[in-house]
Amino acid sequence: MKQSLIIVALATALFLTAILAITNGSANISLTELYQTLIHKLGFDIEHNTKAEAIIWGIRLPRVLLSLLVGSVMGICGAAMQGLFRNPLADPSIIGISAGASLAAALVIVLGTSFFAAFGIYVQMSALAISTFIGAVLATLLIFSLSVTKGKAIVASMLLTGIAINAFSMAFVGLLTFLSTESQLRTLTFWTLGSLGGANWTGVTVMTIIFVIVVFGLVRQYKSLNLLALGENEAKFLGISTEGLKRKVLLFTALGVGFSVSQCGMISFVGLVVPHLVRLSLGSDNRVVLPVSAIGGALLLCGADLISRIVAPPVEIPIGVITALIGAPFFLFLLHQQKKKSIII
């Protein structure tokens, strides 16, 4: 009962935030204009404001949709990673998966632009998406091989690997800034701080496909992830192929994180904050945690994007800055909680 109430409240909040995010910004749009545009786009003949329609259809709607898709993918990937590592600190951005993806992105932007550009914009975009995916996979494998022994993630190694990957990719991106042209530099900044400013319908389409694959792929693993909470051996005794589960979760997470990074750069902490709040209010059953983390992630990212646009218009604060401002103190709070429970290291 309490569960369904919270879920309904979240879904309502998500809907309202999305409407707010579409109507608010450097130019405000009225609800009537939004309604008219949507009806018109559905093919009905209705009186409408073409300027408002251009803003809604060309800028706001893809941007809001992208924030919802990326946010939900990040939320659910965070929840799945934490289940796999059996630890609430395992967030893709903290343990270095996002950094691995953005390093790959930076490499492609600076070193590969001229090469891939020769094949046209679509090849360039897919090269970027594929390389971020590969970067995410490689980072995940590295973290896993360094921090998991006998089915148990050593938290210290996990976080330290994250520090190393984060530092390395930061340094490498720094190095690349020397090699990059002015426009590449702007793109790099966009990548390292994260932004939804580049949202377009192609990106929305790609992310919709990724969203469907990742969300359905991960939600189907809810039983296995629950069993993993008992321990690797116990999960095996209950019929789970833990190796298969690891491969699936790593693949889906790398897919989700990699494509999210390729669409809007590195946005950190969503996958940490959201699943934790969900567990706090709804318990740890992954049947609930996975889908609700997707809803919560969408809500958080959509809200953060809205804030980034309305705080000081027409200037946009990079969204990664906002999520980090919320997330970093939260991370410290979590560490404090773990210390109390003395499960760290």
For residue 61 the two structure tokens come to: 């709607």
Nearest to another protein of 13, 229 (CB atom):
229
Q: Least CB distance from residue 85 to another protein, whole Å?
A: 9
Least separation in angstroms between residue 291's CB and another protein is 13
Q: How far is the CB of 6 from another protein (least distance, A)?
A: 16
Residue 275 or 320 having the CB closest to another protein: 275
- Under the rule (CB under 8 A), what is the footprint of another protein? 83, 86-88, 223, 226-231, 233-234, 236-241, 279, 283-285, 341
For the bound state, the minimum distance from the C-beta of residue 257 to another protein, rounded and expressed in Å, comes to 22
| Closest CB to another protein among residues 63, 276 | 276
Cβ neighbours of residue 251 closer than 8 Å, sequence gap 6 or more: 137
Nearer to another protein, 58 or 283 (CB): 283
Whole-number minimum distance, CB 98 to another protein, in Å?
A: 23
Comparison of 126 and 284: residue with beta carbon closer to another protein: 284
Nearer to another protein, 84 or 267 (CB): 84
Q: What is the 3-state secondary structure (H, E, C) of the chain?
A: CHHHHHHHHHHHHHHHHHHHHHHCCCCCCCHHHHHHHHHHHCCCCCCCCHHHHHHHHHHHHHHHHHHHHHHHHHHHHHHHHHHHHCCCCCCCCCCCHHHHHHHHHHHHHHHHHHHHHCCCHHHHHHHHHHHHHHHHHHHHHHHHHHHEECCEECHHHHHHHHHHHHHHHHHHHHHHHHHCCHHHHHHHHHHHHCCCCCCCHHHHHHHHHHHHHHHHHHHCCHHHHHHHCCCHHHHHHCCCCHHHHHHHHHHHHHHHHHHHHHHHCCCCCHHHHHHHHHHHHHCCCHHHHHHHHHHHHHHHHHHHHHHHHHCECCECCCHHHHHHHHHHHHHHHHHHHHHHHCCCC
Asked if residues 127 and 121 have their Cβ atoms less than 8 Å apart, the reply is: no
Nearer to another protein, 201 or 237 (CB): 237
Q: In this complex, which beta carbon is closest to another protein, that of residue 240 or of residue 300?
A: 240
CB of 337: closest distance to another protein in angstroms? 12
CB 33 within 8 A of CB 52: yes
Residue number with CB closer to another protein (205 or 233)? 233
Nearest approach, Cβ of residue 261 and another protein (Å): 27
CB of 274 to another protein, least distance (A): 15
Tell the smallest beta-carbon distance from residue 65 to another protein (Å): 29
Residues with Cβ within 8 Å of 77's Cβ and at least 6 positions away in sequence, in order, are: 92, 214, 218, 252, 253, 256, 257, 271
Rounded CA-CA distance 148/24 in Å is 46
Q: What are phi and psi of 42, to 5 degrees?
A: -75, -5
